[in-house]
Structure 1
Amino acid sequence: MKESLKIIILGTSGGIPTVERNLPAIAIKKDREIILFDCAESTQRQMGKAKLSVSRISKIFVTHLHGDHIMGIPGILQTLSLLNRNKPLYLFGPNGLMDFITAIKKTVEFTLTFDIYVKEAAEGVVYETNDYYIECVKTRHTNSSFAYAFVEKDRPGKFHPNKALALRIPMGPLWKKLQQGETITLSEGRKIEPSEVADPPKPGRKIVYSGDTAPCESVKKISKNATLLIHESTYGDDLEEKAFETNHSSASQAAKIAEESSVQKLLLTHISQRYSNPKELLEQAQKIFQNTIIAEDLMEITLD
C-alpha cells in the first residue's frame, strides 16, 4: 500500500520576504524521503514549523541561481554537518550551481560530514528511481532556468487477499510479487497473473513546479495532465507588461497554462510583496481555470 504523497509549501513570496510569506521553497514528502525544490533563506526554519526533519532531505532541485531561491542551502549544509550526517546529499540545478557550492565550502567555516554530489541539469530526466522520476525543461526567466516535474510511475492496484487465498497462493513473497505486477509460478507449475488477484495499476501522480518564468511552451508541455501544477504568479493582470519585462507571469497567464495543459489543480505562488491580500490574483485566475488556489506558507496538499 503506497503512502499518500504530500506537498508542503515552505515559501511563497517573490524576491523579498514579507511577514506572512517566506521566499521560495517546496518540499515533496514521499514515504520517508523529503525532496526540496528551491531552497530560500530560512527554509530550514520553515521546515521546523512544518514538523519536517532536515535530516530526511535527500535531494535539492534548484530552478535558477537568483538569491531568493538558493540562499538557504548554506545553512542546511551546516545544520546537517552539526547533526553528523554521513549519507550523501544530491543537488541538481543550472550551470554555476557547482561554483556556488564550492564557494560555500571555501568561505564558510564549518566541516562537512557528508559528500555533496552536484549535477548540472539539462533538459530531460535528471533523476530516476523504481518509483518515480524527475525531469526538467528550460524556462523563460534567466539564461539558465528550469521547471521540474516529479512523475510517479504507475502504482500497483488494490490487492485482494481473499482471491489469493482462494487460489491457494501462500502468504509471503509471492503475494508481494503479484502486488508489484509480476507473474508468479507456484511449486506445482501453476502460473498466476497479477490480474487474477489485484486491480489494474493506478496511474502515478505528477507534480510540476515552474520556478520563475514567463509563459512558455516548455512549461505547458511538461505540465500536460499534471495532478498539480505549481506555477509562479508574481503579478496581477494590470502588471502583465512588467511581468513581460522581468520574465515573470501574471495570474491569468498561469491559469491559461493550466487550462491548456489539462492539469487537475493549479497552485499560484511566488507572489509579489505588493499583494498583501492576493484575492485579486485568485479571482483573475479562476475566471480562466476554476480549480485554482493561492499558495500560503506551510500549506500542505495531500495527493491520495
Structure 2
Amino acid sequence: MHLTFLGTSSGVPTRSRNVSSIALRLPQRSEVWLFDCGEGTQHQIMRSDVRLSQISKIFITHMHGDHIFGLTGLLASCGMAGNAKRIDIYGPSGLGEYLDACQRYSETHLSYEVQVHRVKPGLVVSDPEFSVYCAPLKHRVTAYGYRVEEVDRPGRFDLKKAQAMNIPPGPVYAQLKRGETVQLDDGRMVDGKEFSGAAQPGRKLAYCTDTIYCDSAVDLAQDVDVLIHEATFAHQDAGLAYQRLHSTSTMAAQVALGANAKNLIMTHFSPRYAPGNAIQLNDLLAEARSIFANTRMAHDFMNYEIKAHTPVMAAAG
C-alpha cells in the first residue's frame, strides 16, 4: 500500500502545494483509490507516478470546492484516455447532483460507467482484501473521515518442515498455505495450520479532513498504522480553528495519541505559514511532535509506503 500526496494545501493552491487529494496505490491489484479531488488533481497525477488509468474508486470527504473542483475534469480525462471501464465515487449527499450538473452544462459525455454512492456512517464498501468505513467529522458542512482496513494475511508457510515430512510440492502446498487439511497420496492426513506462522495483521489507514478535534475521528483512527489528519492552523491560531471548524497541529496530534495510531501525517496547511512569516510550517511540526513524536508533514508528491508492522519513525529529521 503506497500513499502519494497530490495536494497538501488548504483552501487555495500555492506555488508549492496544490489543494487536497491523496492517492492510495494498491500495486498488487494495479489499482488506485483517490481521497478527495481538488482542482488541478489530474495535473498533479501527470507529474507523479500515479497512473490515471488505474483509478477505480474516489472517496470524497465533503462538498467544499478545494476537495471536489477537480472531479469533472479528471473523469473527462479518464474517458478520453480510453482506459477507464468503471469508476465508483463515494461521498456525502449532493455529490451526484453536482457531478450531473457539471457534465450537463459542460456537455461532458463519459464513455464508461460512473456510479456515485451516498455514504452513511459505517461500512462503505468491502471486497475480499479491503474494507472501507466512514464516520462523521465536525466541520461547517457535512464531512466524513475514511478508514481503510486490509484483511489479515496468512502467516509464512514453513517450507522446510513440509520438505522434511516428504510432502511432495505442487497444489498440495497451496492447500496447506490456506490452512486446509489435506490427505496425501500415501494416506497421511496433514493439517495445514501446522505449517503456517501467526497471521500477519492487515494494514490500516485513516484519513480525517476537514474537521476540528472530535471523538469520532479518534474512534475512526483507532490503532491505525497511519493517520492522515488535517492541520490547517498552528496552535497559536486555535481561535481561527474554532471559528472555521478546522484543526490545529496539536489537535491532529491529540487525535493520533488518543487513537493509539502508529504514525501521524499532517496535511491541509494554511498558506499563512509560508516562509518569511512569523509562524512557519516547521513550528507546526514541532507543536505536534511535542504531543505525538511520530509525526511528519506531508508535501506535494511525497510518497509513503504503509508496511506491515510499520516501524516507528524517529522523532527528528
Q: Does TM, scored on the shorter chain, surpass 0.5?
A: yes
Match of 2:314 in 1: none
Match of 2:258 in 1: 260
CA change 1:172–1:69 in 2 (3 A) is farther
- 8 Å contact kept, 1:47–1:54: yes
- 8 Å contact kept, 2:63–2:141: no
Count of residue pairs the alignment pairs up: 300
TM-score scaled to structure 1, two decimals?
0.94
- 8 Å contact kept, 1:150–1:208: yes
Match of 1:8 in 2: 4
Match of 1:247 in 2: 245
- 8 Å contact kept, 2:227–2:265: yes
CA change 1:78–1:282 in 2 (3 A) is same
Match of 2:300 in 1: 297
Instruction: Give the drift of 1:86.
Output: 4.9
1:161-199 per-position Cα deviation (integer Å, ceiling 9, x unaligned): 222333344434332333334444435554433332221
Equivalent AA in structure 2 for residue 122 of structure 1: K
Equivalent AA in structure 2 for residue 40 of structure 1: G
CA change 1:218–1:162 in 2 (3 A) is same
1:8-42 per-position Cα deviation (integer Å, ceiling 9, x unaligned): 11110000100111111111111211111101111
Measured in 1, the distance between the counterparts of 2:6 and 2:93 equals: 25
CA change 1:138–1:195 in 2 (3 A) is same
Deviates more, 1:185-194 or 1:255-264: 185-194
Measured in 2, the distance between the counterparts of 1:181 and 1:273 equals: 53
Identity %: 36
Match of 2:63 in 1: 65
CA change 1:148–1:182 in 2 (3 A) is farther
Match of 2:313 in 1: none
Match of 2:207 in 1: 209
Structure 1 segment 105-184 matched on structure 2, within 5 A = 105-184=103-182
Match of 2:45 in 1: 47
Measured in 2, the distance between the counterparts of 1:216 and 1:253 equals: 9
In the alignment, structure 2 segments of 5+ residues that lack a partner are 275-279, 308-317
**2:93 matches 1:90:** no
Alpha-carbon RMSD across the aligned residues, in angstroms, is 1.5
- 8 Å contact kept, 1:163–1:196: no
Match of 1:279 in 2: 282
Match of 2:312 in 1: none
Measured in 2, the distance between the counterparts of 1:153 and 1:240 equals: 38
Deviates more, 1:17-26 or 1:161-170: 161-170
| Partner secondary structure for residue 69 of structure 1 | helix
Measured in 1, the distance between the counterparts of 2:179 and 2:97 equals: 44
| Partner secondary structure for residue 212 of structure 1 | coil
In the alignment, structure 1 segments of 5+ residues that lack a partner are none
1:104-147 per-position Cα deviation (integer Å, ceiling 9, x unaligned): 22122332110111110000010101111000000001342100
- 8 Å contact kept, 1:85–1:113: no
TM-score scaled to structure 2, two decimals?
0.90
The partner residue of 1:288 within 287, 291, 310 is 291
Instruction: Give the drift of 1:260.
Output: 1.0
CA change 1:166–1:210 in 2 (3 A) is same
Equivalent AA in structure 1 for residue 286 of structure 2: E
The partner residue of 1:225 within 223, 230, 236 is 223
Measured in 2, the distance between the counterparts of 1:242 and 1:216 equals: 16
Measured in 1, the distance between the counterparts of 2:252 and 2:86 equals: 36
| Partner secondary structure for residue 117 of structure 1 | strand
The partner residue of 1:23 within 19, 26, 29 is 19
CA change 1:226–1:86 in 2 (3 A) is closer
Deviates more, 1:47-56 or 1:57-66: 47-56
The partner residue of 2:184 within 177, 183, 186 is 186
CA change 1:120–1:214 in 2 (3 A) is same
Equivalent AA in structure 1 for residue 139 of structure 2: H
CA change 1:138–1:34 in 2 (3 A) is same
- 8 Å contact kept, 2:23–2:50: no
1:195-236 per-position Cα deviation (integer Å, ceiling 9, x unaligned): 322211100111100020011111100111110000000000
